[in-house]
């Protein structure tokens, strides 16, 4: 293996340039632009070129030589037939630039309008998915044999049973922190016993459902989007369609129903863990006995709060799964789109959950609050 070399020979007709060695990507000295400039400079006054001593010439080498010639054939050229055919290929190159414009900066108003249209489009998509779900339910009610029990139970297991440890842990820790911080404040007012009211209402009504919703959106929502998205990338959804399997019945419906069923259970579980955490902390810090805590809890927190929490669980679970499936089905067949859709799915579902939570707060403002 030899390096690319340039020689000049004085001849009767004038200067002749001799190229020898290996003119390949691996053997040409870097950077290539300076090699090209040197070749151009040496060749400026040359009458003839001899490329026969070149032992190996690849397309990168051929491009360097062609560019050094200023993109036209020299007056006299000696070259082997193989290398000439390679050079001819280089001559035939037409570099086609991508037509610009799609990425051009847009004025703010247009951008805003496009975003609004996109949001509207997603909303329409979600409504369509919802409508399809209702039709599927009606169909399955008449054809109970087709109900996808397996997918449903698999989703309940993945989104519910497997999430039990983490939701309990988070609920317990939040309960402890909340109880500890509230106790510090309440003590200064001598209002220690109200810790039970405070923890009871806030955890059961508000924190439990929202915490679980955020956790499930990150855990199961992203998984659902990614799963459906990869199935789009690998054309598995098309394969299902050709087998006459409805994607909405087999993929979307079981996920939405499973999450709508599991979420309220997770909410109850997480709220209970939060209350246990609060109880433990209250006992350690303020010496409130467990019996007193439990007894007071049942007196000061109306049971309506539990139903509100459960109701939120159903609504949040339903929305998270619906949004996750919607974005999964919108994944375009490439990895970049997969990752951006998964991100959008999680962000959207958490945002929607918080919005819906606010709506719940307004609608239930007269329910379940004592005195």
Query: Beta strand 76-78 with 48-50: parallel, antiparallel or unpaired?
Result: parallel
Within 45-64, which residues bind another protein (CB under 8 A)?
A: 56-60, 63-64
Least separation, in Å, of the C-beta of 333 and another protein?
A: 4
Binding-site size for another protein (CB under 8 A) equals: 38
Q: What one-character-per-residue DSSP string does 112-159 give?
A: HHHHHHHHHHHHHHHHHHHHHHHHHHHHHHH-GGG--HHHHHHHHHHH
Nearer to another protein, 37 or 347 (CB): 37
Least separation, in Å, of the C-beta of 33 and another protein?
A: 6
Nearer to another protein, 66 or 269 (CB): 66
Nearer to another protein, 185 or 335 (CB): 335
User: What token pair was written down for 266?
Assistant: 């997770």
Query: Contact between 332 and another protein (CB under 8 A)?
Result: yes
The piece of 80-88, 152-160, 165-173, 216-224 that touches another protein (CB under 8 A) is 80-88
Least separation, in Å, of the C-beta of 353 and another protein?
A: 30
Least separation, in Å, of the C-beta of 34 and another protein?
A: 11
Query: Contact between 334 and another protein (CB under 8 A)?
Result: yes
Tell me how far apart the alpha carbons of residues 92 and 96 are, in angstroms, rounded to a whole number.
12
Least separation, in Å, of the C-beta of 1 and another protein?
A: 4
Nearer to another protein, 32 or 186 (CB): 32
Residue 310 and residue 269 in contact, taking contact as beta carbons nearer than 8 Å: no
Cβ neighbours of residue 192 under 8 Å, at least 6 residues apart? 183, 186, 286, 288
Tell me how far apart the alpha carbons of residues 47 and 87 are, in angstroms, rounded to a whole number.
19
Binding mask 86-105 for another protein (x = CB under 8 A): x--xx-xxxxx-x-------
Query: Contact between 337 and another protein (CB under 8 A)?
Result: yes
Pick one of 333, 361, 367, 369: the residue that binds another protein (CB under 8 A): 333
Least separation, in Å, of the C-beta of 113 and another protein?
A: 27
Sheet strands (E) in the chain: 5-11, 14-23, 48-50, 54-57, 76-78
Within 10-39, which residues bind another protein (CB under 8 A)?
A: 24-27, 29-33
What is the DSSP code (8-state) at residue 191?
-
Nearer to another protein, 8 or 339 (CB): 339
Query: Contact between 1 and another protein (CB under 8 A)?
Result: yes
Nearer to another protein, 93 or 347 (CB): 93
Within 212-271, which residues bind another protein (CB under 8 A)?
A: 233
Query: Beta strand 76-78 with 54-57: parallel, antiparallel or unpaired?
Result: unpaired
Tell me how far apart the alpha carbons of residues 151 and 163 are, in angstroms, rounded to a whole number.
17
Cβ neighbours of residue 183 under 8 Å, at least 6 residues apart? 192, 195, 281, 282, 285, 286
Of 19, 88, 11, 15, whose CA–CA distance to 52 is shortest?
19
Tell me how far apart the alpha carbons of residues 171 and 253 are, in angstroms, rounded to a whole number.
29
Residues that bind another protein (CB under 8 A): 1, 3, 24-27, 29-33, 56-60, 63-64, 67, 82-83, 85-86, 89-90, 92-96, 98, 233, 332-337
């Amino acid at each position: 293996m030899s390096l690319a070399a340039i020689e000049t020979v004085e001849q009767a007709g004038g200067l002749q340039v001799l190229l020898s060695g290996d003119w390949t990507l691996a053997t040409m000295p870097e950077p290539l632009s300076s090699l090209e400039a040197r070749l151009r400079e040496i060749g400026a006054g040359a009458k003839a070129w001899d490329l026969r001593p070149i032992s190996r010439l690849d397309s990168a080498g051929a491009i360097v030589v062609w560019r050094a010639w200023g993109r036209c054939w020299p007056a006299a050229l000696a070259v082997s037939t193989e290398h000439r055919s390679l050079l001819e290929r280089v001559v035939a190159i037409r570099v086609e630039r991508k037509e610009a414009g799609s990425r051009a900066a847009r004025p703010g108003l247009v951008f805003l309008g496009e975003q609004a249209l996109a949001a509207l489009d997603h909303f329409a998509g979600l409504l369509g998915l919802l409508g399809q779900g209702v039709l599927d339910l009606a169909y399955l009610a008449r054809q109970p044999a087709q109900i996808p029990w397996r997918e449903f139970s698999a989703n309940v297991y993945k989104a519910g049973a497997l999430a039990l440890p983490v939701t309990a842990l988070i609920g317990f820790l939040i309960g402890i922190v909340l109880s500890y911080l509230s106790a510090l404040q309440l003590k200064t007012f001598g209002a220690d016993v109200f810790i039970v009211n405070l923890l009871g209402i806030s955890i059961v009504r508000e924190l439990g459902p929202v915490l679980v919703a955020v956790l499930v959106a990150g855990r199961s929502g992203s998984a659902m989007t990614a799963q459906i998205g990869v199935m789009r990338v690998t054309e598995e959804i098309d394969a299902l369609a050709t087998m006459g399997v409805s994607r909405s019945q087999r993929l979307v419906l079981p996920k939405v129903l499973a999450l709508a069923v599991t979420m309220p259970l997770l909410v109850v579980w997480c709220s209970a863990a939060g209350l246990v955490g609060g109880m433990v902390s209250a006992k350690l810090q303020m010496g409130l006995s467990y019996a007193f805590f439990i007894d007071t809890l049942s007196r000061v927190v109306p049971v309506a709060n539990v139903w509100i929490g459960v109701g939120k669980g159903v609504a949040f679970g339903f929305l998270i799964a619906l949004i996750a499936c919607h974005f999964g089905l919108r994944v375009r067949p490439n990895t970049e789109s997969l990752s951006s859709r998964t991100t959008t799915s999680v962000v959207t579902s958490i945002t929607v959950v918080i919005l819906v939570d606010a709506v719940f707060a307004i609608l239930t403002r007269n329910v379940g609050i004592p005195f």
